[in-house]
Structure 1
Amino acid sequence: MSQATAPAPAASAPGFAGEQKNNDWIWHLSFGLLLAVTLIWFLFWTNGYAATDSSKIVFITAVIFAVFMAFNIGGNDVANSFGTSVGAGTLSIKQALVVAAIFEVSGAILAGGEVTNTVRSGIVDLNAIDGLDPMEFVYIMMSALLGAAIWLLVATRMGWPVSTTHSIVGAALTVGFITGKGGWSMVQWGEIGTIAFSWVLSPVLGGVAAWLLFGWIKRSILVYNEAADTQLREIKQRRAELRQEHKSRFQRMDELQQISYTNAMARDAALVAEEDFDPDLLESDYYRELHHINKDMDNVQAHRALENWVPLLAAIGAVIISAMMLFKGLKNVGLDFSALQNFLVMGMVGAAVWMAVFIFARTLKKHSLDRSTFLLFSWMQVFTASAFAFSHGSNDIANAIGPFVAVIDVLKKGEIADEAAVPAPVMIAMGIALIAGLWFIGRFVIQTVGSGLTQMHPSSGFAAELSAAAVVMAASLLGLPVSSTHILIGAVLGVGIVNKAANWNLMKPIALAWVITLPTAAGIAAVTVAILRVTF
């Protein structure tokens, strides 16, 4: 069986060659200006935020490193997040930009603080580096940013979706050893062990979740639709044959027989136009046989799977989206419901979405089964893409914000603190850099994830995104900086396994890139920290 009844429109996904050739200079110019203005504004803001006696050059360098890191996260991780949507033809790359701009930044601002704290101080035991010069700590964080960013840029250009979490954590720890402060004792091995376990678990959980979800979707909806579509085609063929047969019979009749038969058919046509007609009153053989054919078509119940199961899937997706907002975003802005209130809100949202999608599915009965399947899953994939963007913003924006906040906090206070507030302008600036990175360099990773690992359709893209969003959300709630890249790649491969179409040859260089991510980023960071210590 193929993976879906709907046509696969993503052979050349929107946002790739065709779209990119037209008027792209306007988009390039717009995003270039936006990024430049943001960087200038951010430099002015951070200049006023930090202490006046801190090194201006160090401060400016830290800002550039952080924005560069966020830019490359956008080109790799955010592009990885939207690869399935663009590859399935649900969103063009420009539409993906709009969704990312809203939900990535919202996730970072509303729900990103907890993970940022884990990256900044949960991995490194600040007590073990007591006596470390605060500026050495600044150099460690700055080098971690640059080491991770350069590796991300290289990997993105090669089309490899890699883990920014691996990059930033490995670089931060390695340069800690280079400074000779803290050594092995600076590492909170309990935290590292938990995070390492989650890294291993991420692609497995993503793959298993997507394999289960898409396997069920395929068996319950897509395979049913294919069987129903085959029956409908056979019935339409019977109807065409009936029309041709009676046309031949009519031509063999004499004139009086033709007049009599025409009058009978006219009366039958008027009869079948009535809402509840008695088929026994039909006079012509043509309409009697046509009635039996139409009855067989009704018995197929072609849209039954769409009407029964798609609203349920949409409701599940809505519950996940609302859960992210209630347990993460709204909690951080001070709206703290009780557990019962949270579940009641989630239930109401799920019920409302179920009813809305059910009504929408009923209105598609007059459309072809292929078209109805494509439309329903396309709408649902837009929502799951938004949910995954929110989860990604709440989780992986920490990779750029955490080390940078540590830097500006030290430059402001002159000491290494256990905690530091994350100012909203930092979130906004990094969010804008994310979107700019998605536009300028994200298409390489989008092509890999959207069509390289397996062919995407809205139904398979929906399954991969919903599975990945649920796993990332759960990890974010636990404060674990898991790799959303590994989770989504695992989910995409899970879909490919169901369809027996996973591109393992392409997965080999991606897996190799995952392995060398930590040492490569660490090596670049080690060189960077040595240069910074000499320069400043």
Structure 2
Amino acid sequence: MLLFVLFLATCFLAYSNGANDNFKGVATLFGSKTTSYKVAIAWATLTTFLGSICSIFLAATLLKNFSGKGLVPDAIASAADFHLAVALGAGITVILATFTGFPISTTHGLTGALVGAGLVAIGSQVNFGALGSSFLLPLLVSPVLAIVLGSLLYGLFRTLRVTLGIKKEWCLCVGETQQVIPIPQPDATNLLKCVTTTDIAVDSLDRCTQRYTGKFLGVKSQQLINALHFFSAGTVSFARGLNDTPKIVSLLLVGQAFSVQWGMLAVGLGMAIGGLINAKKVAITMSQKITNMNAGQGFSANLVTAALVIAASRYGLPVSTTHVSVGSIFGGGLISRQANWQVFYQILLSWILTLPIAASISAGSYLLLHR
């Protein structure tokens, strides 16, 4: 029965992860108005699921790191009640953030949950040295590195665009407007009449779609950047599935109760369903509130995010796709001078609160299980 509840709790964590994280890879597609929300989330779901499947072969190190071994004694790290407390702590924290629209890190939530349950289980014997080098250091460094690289890469691409003579154009809104005007009539009250006129205006910045003009290597610049943008967004989502799936599946590795292959499939499906059903609020925050962006800025941010997350997965470093993605998008916003500092501060605060909230829920869950 405990193993069955552990399986359900892990699937709940996977669902929460998908709801909060799946759209982050394609946020730039929606934010730059390259495509609609429905197309973006469908592309994210497909590529994330492919990353989940490939994690069976490419991300074995993360399976070990997030099982709790090395952080607490193996006897506790192999117990189903410990894993259940961690799954509940991380899952509840992530779903709460999702409902409020804050893009937080599942990696951060899992780290806090491991510490919370570990402190209740063995007190100060938790290996804080391993926690700092293997968990906290990559989580702290990755967003800073993403901001720097996002700024540099977008600045480089913008300079290259200007050098090649590729220009940008804004939308021009042409349409009909209706105005109600009074028409005086002799010996009668004023009558109201609706008059239709043609109106031409430059729309507001938040509603306009920016386009690139000219050609590059014989291909229309806008078509080329759109294709590259879709590819980079798919790569980020693939990398996220590759990096996050083994972290969650590690909670199922209790003895020989669950196989890694079936665990990866179950977690991948849970993440896909969560993203399809509950991603909208986080999608708005990531796509529209951090900064206004165009396709070039989104493409640059995706390249940085994909490179850092794939490299981290390869070397077993538990970086957060959320931290990296937000950092790279914000870095591009710094160059374009459209970054929203207030929203960025709010996101930073949610990141700070993630660890203690997840640790508290996990610790409480572990206590209840033992009582």
Amino acid at match of 1:426: G
- State the Cα distance separating 1:155 from its structure 2 match: 0.7
Q: Structure 1 pair 76/457, CA: closer, same or farther in 2 (3 Å)? A: same
Q: Which residue of 2 aligns with 1:383?
A: 231
Cα distance, 1:81–1:217 mapped onto 2, change above 3 Å? same
Asked whether the 8 Å contact 1:101–1:431 carries over to 2, the reply is no
Higher helix share: 1
Whether the 8 Å contact between 1:101 and 1:435 is mirrored in structure 2 is yes
Residue-by-residue CA offset, 1:153-211 (whole Å, 9 max, x unaligned): 111111111111111111112111212x3x33342624532431111111111111111
- Partner amino acid for 1:379? A
Q: 1:185 aligns with which of 121, 125, 139?
A: 125
What's the offset of the Cα at 1:143? 1.1
TM-score between both structures, scaled by the size of structure 1: 0.57
1:421-472 C-alpha deviation (Å, 9 max, x unpaired): 8522221121111111112111111111111101122111110011110011
1:455-466 matches, within 5 Å, as 455-466=292-303
Q: Distance in 2 between matches of 1:99 and 1:133?
A: 36
- List aligned pairs for 1:289-300, cutoff 5 A: none
Pairwise CA distance, 1:152: 0.8
Which of structures 1 and 2 has the bigger CA Rg?
Answer: 1
Aligned residue for 2:344?
507
Checking the alignment, whether the CA contact within 8 Å between 2:85 and 2:366 is kept in structure 1 is yes
One-letter code of the match for 1:98?
Answer: A
Q: Match of 1:214?
A: 154
- Could you tell me how far apart the structure 1 residues matched to 2:168 and 2:28 are? 27
Change (3 A) 1:123 1:455: farther
- 1:440-455 equivalent positions in 2, closer than 5 A: 440-455=277-292
What is the one-letter code of the residue matched to 1:116? L
Tell whether the 8 Å contact from 1:467 to 1:491 is kept in structure 2 after alignment: yes
Higher strand share: 2
Cα distance in 1 for partners of 2:169, 2:21 equals 38
Q: Which residue of 1 aligns with 2:10?
A: 66
Counterpart amino acid of residue 100 in structure 2: M
1:166 and 1:518 in contact (8 A); partners too = yes
Q: Structure 1 residue 379: deviation in Å?
A: 0.9
Residue equivalent to 1:199? 139
Q: Contact conserved, 2:62 with 2:318, CA < 8 A, in 1?
A: yes
Q: Aligned partners of 1:444 and 1:188: how far apart in 2?
A: 35
Give the superposition deviation at 1:87. Answer: 1.7
**2:331 counterpart letter in structure 1:** G
Pairing partner for 1:166 from 95, 108, 112: 108
The amino acid across from 1:388 in the alignment is: V
Aligned residues: 326
Q: 1:453 to 1:528 in 2, by over 3 A?
A: same
1:104 Cα offset (Å): 1.5
Q: Which amino acid aligns with 2:230?
A: V
Correspondence for 1:75: 19
DSSP-derived class of the 2:255 partner: helix
The answer as to whether partners of 2:69 and 2:77 remain within 8 angstroms in 1 is: no
Question: Structure 2: how far apart are the matches of 1:453 and 1:122?
Answer: 37
Q: For the residues of structure 1 that align with 2:29 and 2:259, how far apart are their CA atoms?
A: 31
Counterpart selection for 2:97 from 143, 155, 160: 155
1:519 corresponds, among 356, 359, 363, to 356
Does the 8 A contact of 1:161 with 1:445 survive in 2? yes
Q: Does 1:533 align with 2:370?
A: yes
CA distance in 2: counterparts of 1:91 and 1:429, whole angstroms: 29
Q: Corresponding residue for 1:498?
A: 335
Partner of 2:83: 141
TM-score where L is the length of structure 2: 0.81
Is 2:34 the partner of 1:87?
A: no
CA contact (8 A) 1:164 1:399 kept: no
1:173 & 1:228 partners in 2: Cα distance? 50
Give the Cα–Cα distance (whole angstroms) in 2 for the partners of residues 114 and 96 of structure 1.
30
Q: Counterpart in 1 of 2:255? A: 410
Distance of 2:308 and 2:259 partners within structure 1: 25
1:458-502 per-position Cα deviation (integer Å, ceiling 9, x unaligned): 111110011110011111111111111111110011010000111
CA distance in 2, matches of 1:187, 1:133: 12
Instruction: Give 1:384 deviation, angstroms.
Output: 0.5
Q: Aligned equivalents of 2:307 and 2:334: distance in 1?
A: 20
Corresponding residue SS for 1:479: coil
Residues 395/228 of structure 1: CA separation in 2 closer, same or farther (3 Å cut): closer
Q: Secondary structure at the match of 1:120?
A: coil
Q: Which residue pairs with 2:210 in the alignment?
A: none
For 2:77 and 2:324, locate their aligned partners in 1 and report how far apart those are by CA, in whole Å: 38
The alignment partner of 1:410 has SS state of coil
Task: Report the CA distance shift for 1:123/1:389 in structure 2 as closer, same or farther (over 3 A).
Answer: farther
Percent identity at matched positions?
27
- For 1:228 and 1:522, the matched residues in 2 are separated by 48
Deviation (angstroms), 1:150: 0.9
Amino acid at match of 2:279: G
The one-letter amino acid paired with 1:217 is F
Q: 1:461 to 1:116 in 2, by over 3 A?
A: same
| Residue of structure 1 aligned with 2:263, choices 422, 426, 434 | 426
Aligned CA distance change for structure 1 residues 149 and 493 (closer, same or farther; 3 Å): same
Q: Residues of 1 paired with 2:264 and 2:105: CA distance? A: 20
Matched ranges for 1:36-47 at <5 A: none
2:208 matched residue in structure 1? none
Whole-angstrom distance in 2 between the partners of 1:363 and 1:470: 26
